[in-house]
Structure 1
Amino acid sequence: MTSTAIRNNWTLEEIQAIYDQPLLDLVYQAATIHREYHSAREIQVCTLLSIKTGGCPEDCSYCGQAARYHTDIKVQALLPTETVIAHAQKAKDNGSTRFCMAAAWREVRDNRDFDRVIDMVKGVNELGMEVCCTLGMLTEEQAVRLQEAGLHAYNHNLDTSEQYYKEIISTRNFDNRINTINNVRKAGITVCSGGIIGLGETHRDRISMLLTLATMPKHPESVPINALARVKGTPLEDNPKVDAWDMVRMIATARIVMPASTVRLTAGRIEMTESEQAWCFMAGANSIFTGERQTLLVTPNPGVSEDMQMLQHLGLQPMPNKKEVTAC
């Protein structure tokens, strides 16, 4: 039985009061709520693959895949479908239950590349994994096609607050993000949406971003919390490293205001110690991204063996495949 109600009528002041609590009180509250809705020992292991890399026309200040920035990231055309399915099978063999495919597009276009992505979604779905995509903006009709192919989740992060958004991206606006999320919802696909800290935003911006997520008619089923991965050649390459306690505070606040959501400890783990990641799990994070390539899209990330060793040290275990459990 859960005693903490799911609310969609949070105020900025309420979330601010939660966020500003003494850290240990905040983590204790989050850990208590986490145990009402989730198994405290289970962590969903996910794999993220860049199926089309670089050459993006957007100007997101944090992203090394933007064509206008001079980075060391190599442009890669859309991968063959069979290559993607092989990566998904290997991810499943390594314990991942969710496979996310990312393409560096501004928006989905109705062309042969999108047809190929549809085939990829069908193929990964047939492996019995949760299939997720992040492809940029999309229409409701495109979302319906993805849903019919078996897409489980669509990732479209808010990145930051509505107020600070224009300081980070000028090639689209905050409402474009919301519109895509609404299109995903209408198509019956689960929503994966969170943000990045370390962009130069204030604590108030972080709270405002959580407010937007927590006051949606239905909370995102998945909320990734990312620490800025500083990429050489981007405008934010010299930003300071995100403090691990800031990550803990964000994760704990997200867990309290969106208790049933999966809170994903995402980018930035490569710069966190095992102890710091343990604090994030205690605060309510119950998912990580891993992979044999030791990258998260185009930035460094811990590998499978390292992550499995960490989970073992902490007495945690990979979450079982929900689709297979349901089938049984």
Structure 2
Amino acid sequence: MSDAPFIKACMDKVLAGGRITIDEAERLLATDDVMALADCANTITRKFNGDVVDVEALINAKSGKCPEDCSFCAQSTFYETGINKYPLLPKETIVEQAEMAKAGGATNFCLVCAYRSPPEKDFEQICETITAIKEQVGTEVNVSLGFMTLERARRLKQLGVKRYNHNLEASESYFSKICTTHDFRDRVNTAKIVKEAGLELCCGGIIGMGETPRQRLELAFSIASLDPDEVPMNILIGREGTPFAGYKDLIEPMDAIKAIAVWRFIMPKTILKIAGGREVHLKDKDRLALKAGANGIITGGYLTTGGNAPNKDITMIKEIGLKAK
């Protein structure tokens, strides 16, 4: 028996302004009718978000030596992963990277640093760098700096930062399996501080870390409860040296497509961005992802892994009849 009528009924509920339940989401995620699910997710995306794809570039502005023990992360001080570690990059270097990102077609530039929370000296330097990017490059600036106080978040808002990234990473019921140096509520707290300060919230997570399908949905519903403006979905790349090094192929491309589609049902109006791991796991399905609920991408590489060249991604977006922003 086809799931198409059920999928369409869920779509109609969302289009009318309603919300699906986690049990309905679980049934959607379990469907074998992937294309019907993708088509309905695409209809939701187009209705609430138009035909624009948000294209963002990022810079790993301070690499490694993070004091947290997140099992997926190559930048944790707990693991030997062979990455290039360095302190906060000079202002001039970051501004130059922002200029290159803008020239490549990215309209958002995200400054990411591996901290639990930046020391005061580094935070002041980051603030000076944000000001320089706004004045010299003129692109939107987003940041990801770890845990945040309300005072600092308000300072970033005053400087013109658009969006603050702080992912929940995993569902509350699975979080202790991925991290012991802080807990799920710590992450939720920073996300709420970001909103209170008037910044837009970018808040997503990682799939393919050994979680159950239900936990994949629990994560989505927790993220949705924070009303984020942007939701990056990352797909785990098991990095050598981390506890998750053996987690190479825990998710098939079409399972990832289904997760993207169902997350769109859960969060119809957000920028749903396919991020880390998309080139590895989606392979040639990234076009389908952008017609199955996703309406944003990270381009040009990630924190410790490479990615597609921006011009390749911009071309792909245009080839499927969408517009890069």
Q: Using the alignment, how far apart are the partners of 1:3 and 1:91 within structure 2?
A: 35
Q: 1:29 to 1:312 in 2, by over 3 A?
A: closer
Q: Which residue of 1 aligns with 2:296?
A: 287
For 1:51 and 1:159, how far apart are their aligned partners in 2?
20
- The 3 A distance-change label for structure 1 pair 74 and 253 is same
Determine if contact 1:290/1:303 at 8 Å carries over to the other structure. yes
Which secondary structure does the structure 1 equivalent of 2:92 belong to?
Answer: helix
Q: Find 1:29's aligned residue among 32, 40, 56.
A: 40
User: Is residue 10–residue 215 contact of structure 1 (8 Å, CA) maintained in 2?
Assistant: no
- Measure the CA separation in 2 of the matches of 1:14 and 1:285: 20
Counterpart position of 1:316: 322
Counterpart Cα distance in 2 of 1:5 and 1:188: 28
- Please name the residue that 2:130 is paired with: 121
Shift, 1:30, TM fit:
0.6
Cα pair distance change 1:119/1:5, threshold 3 Å: farther
8 Å contact from structure 1 (residues 229, 299) kept in 2 = no
Q: CA deviation at 1:13?
A: 1.8
Aligned to 2:98: 88
Tell me whether 1:229 sits opposite 2:237 in the alignment: yes
Of 224, 239, 249, which aligns to 2:247?
A: 239
Task: Report if aligned partners of 2:61, 2:113 keep a CA contact under 8 Å in 1.
Answer: yes
How many pairs were matched up?
310
Q: Secondary structure at the match of 2:268?
A: coil
In structure 2, runs of 5+ residues without a counterpart are 1-12
Structure 1 residue 156: Cα displacement: 0.6
**Is the contact made by 1:225 and 1:250 (CA closer than 8 Å) also made in structure 2?**
no
Aligned to 1:305: 311
Distance in 2 (alpha carbons) for counterparts of 1:136 and 1:16: 31
**Paired residue secondary structure (2:38):** helix
Contact 2:318 2:324 in 1 (8 A): no
2:184 paired residue number: 174
Alpha-carbon distance between aligned partners in 2 of 1:6 and 1:153, rounded to the nearest angstrom: 25
* 1:186 corresponding residue in structure 2: 196
Per-residue CA deviation, residues 51-108 of structure 1 (Å, 9 max, x unaligned), is 0000111101011001111111021110111111111111111110110011000123
CA–CA distance in 2 between the matches of 1:68 and 1:215? 32
Matching of residues 46-125 of structure 1 within 5 Å: 46-109=56-119, 111-125=120-134
How far does the alpha carbon of each residue in 1:101-125 deviate from its partner, in whole angstroms, 9 at most, with x for none? 110001233x111001111222223
> In 2 relative to 1, CA 3–225 (structure 1 residues): closer, same or farther, beyond 3 Å?
closer
Deviation at 1:18, TM superposition (A): 3.3
Paired AA for residue 37 in structure 1: F
Aligned partner of 2:142 among 128, 132, 137: 132
Asked whether the equivalents of residues 251 and 280 of structure 1 are also in contact (C-alpha less than 8 Å), the reply is yes
User: Would the aligned equivalents of 1:6 and 1:259 in 2 still touch at CA under 8 Å?
Assistant: no
Q: Given residue 152 of structure 1, which amino acid in structure 2 is its aligned partner?
A: K
Partner Cα separation in structure 2 for residue 200 and residue 282 of structure 1: 26
The change in CA–CA distance for 1:308 and 1:20 in structure 2 (over 3 A counts) is same
Please point out which of 253, 266, 270 is paired with 1:257. 266
Cα distance in 1, alignment partners of residues 189 and 16 from structure 2: 27
2:276 to 267, 288, 291: 267
Q: Provide the C-alpha distance between the structure 2 equivalents of 1:62 and 1:282, rounded to a whole number of angstroms.
A: 28
Alpha carbons 2:252, 2:281 under 8 Å: kept: no
* Structure 1 gap ranges (5+): 320-328
TM-score (norm 1): 0.89
